[in-house]
Amino acid sequence: MTLNEELYKIEQDAQKTLEEASTAEYLDAFKVEYLSRHGILSTFLRGIKDASIEEKRTVGSRANTLRIELEQKFESKITTLNKGLNRKIDVTVPGKRPAQGHLHPLTIVRREIEDIFLSMGFEIADTPEVEEAKFNFDLVNIPQDHPARDLMDTFWLNDGRLLRTHTSAGQGRVMKNRKPPLRILIPGRVFRNEATDASHESTFHQFEGMMVDKDISLADLKGVIEVVLKKILKREDAKLRFRPSFFPFVEPGIETHVSCLFCKSGCATCKYSGWIEILPAGMIHPNVLRNVGIDPTKYRGFAFGGSIDRLAMLRFGISDIRLLWSGDPSFLKQF
């Protein structure tokens, strides 16, 4: 490529770049690239020192003329741009309100749960999501040979730890370092290695509540559950029922059912029973107290665990748990 051809290409590229530059940032970039001391034009002029005298005269003159033209067009562009920035603005024209963020429905329900329990004298405890099998199973009365252990679809890690399958794993951690009386709430994420459908997710949120003191009874547990659920669901008319059940870490154990908020005579959500199981609970098993160094002959306690996701679904009338994790703005902006 001759010097004339090279200069022609530089001219075409520079003219095109300058025409397309529409902001101050782009114009600054153009000036640095073509008109600065180390820009393309200056580099080109320094490179013709070995050319013939005739080429230096003609090509050098054209290059200097091109520099002057580009500088004039650059200044004209800057002036035009500044005029546009200084244009008059009609302050009476209604502005565009910026979109505001809002809390996720799970965050709304979790914060309300925490506020309710704090008002009842409970302390919020934070325990790890990556847990040891000792805390997730052993200390809550689920030893290695216990059949309930096989029912937990667990994510195991290579170092022998696991992703906690329930917030009950925090019971041992909290009670091991405290002395009664205790009123503790443990909210957080839990993980199950199971298939996802409308009512199941591999990752979801739970809250674990427990109270340990002298003379604690099922009546205390029942009173706390009734107050909490009615406040969370915003339904003072919601009916609750308690049925005996089995859980390894409580004795006796109960299931808490709430009347279906979606129907009156039965639907797919309540499996056409009119009731939805919502909160397993019971009196803390003596073995659990003994495992953490609390004398079960002196102290008793109750514990309960609920799904924050399920409560959010009931509260807001959400029929598919996967919507909570979809990140769909059209769904989330409804709350």
Q: What is the CA radius of gyration of the chain?
A: 35
Backbone angles phi, psi at 307, to 5 degrees: -95, 120
Least confident of 43-57, 65-79, 128-142, 209-223: 43-57
CATH number of 105-332: 3.30.930.10
The domain limits of the chain are 3-85, 105-332
Contact 186, 166 (CB under 8 A): no
What residues are paired with 242 via a beta bridge?
256
pLDDT mean over 171-198? 88
Contact 163, 157 (CB under 8 A): yes
Tokens representing residue 229 in the block: 């659920």
> If DSSP codes are grouped into helix, strand and coil, which group holds residue 321?
helix
From CA 230, how far away is CA 148, in angstroms rounded? 31
Greatest mean pLDDT among 37-51, 58-72, 111-125 lies in: 111-125
Residue 85 has pLDDT above 60, yes or no: no
Q: Does the global pTM surpass 0.75? A: no
pLDDT mean over 205-228? 92
From CA 175, how far away is CA 133, in angstroms rounded? 17
> If DSSP codes are grouped into helix, strand and coil, which group holds residue 182?
strand
Residue 300 parent element (H or E): strand 300-307
pLDDT mean over 293-318? 89
Tokens representing residue 73 in the block: 């067009």
CB atoms within 10 A of CB 212: 24
In total, the chain counts a number of residues equal to 335
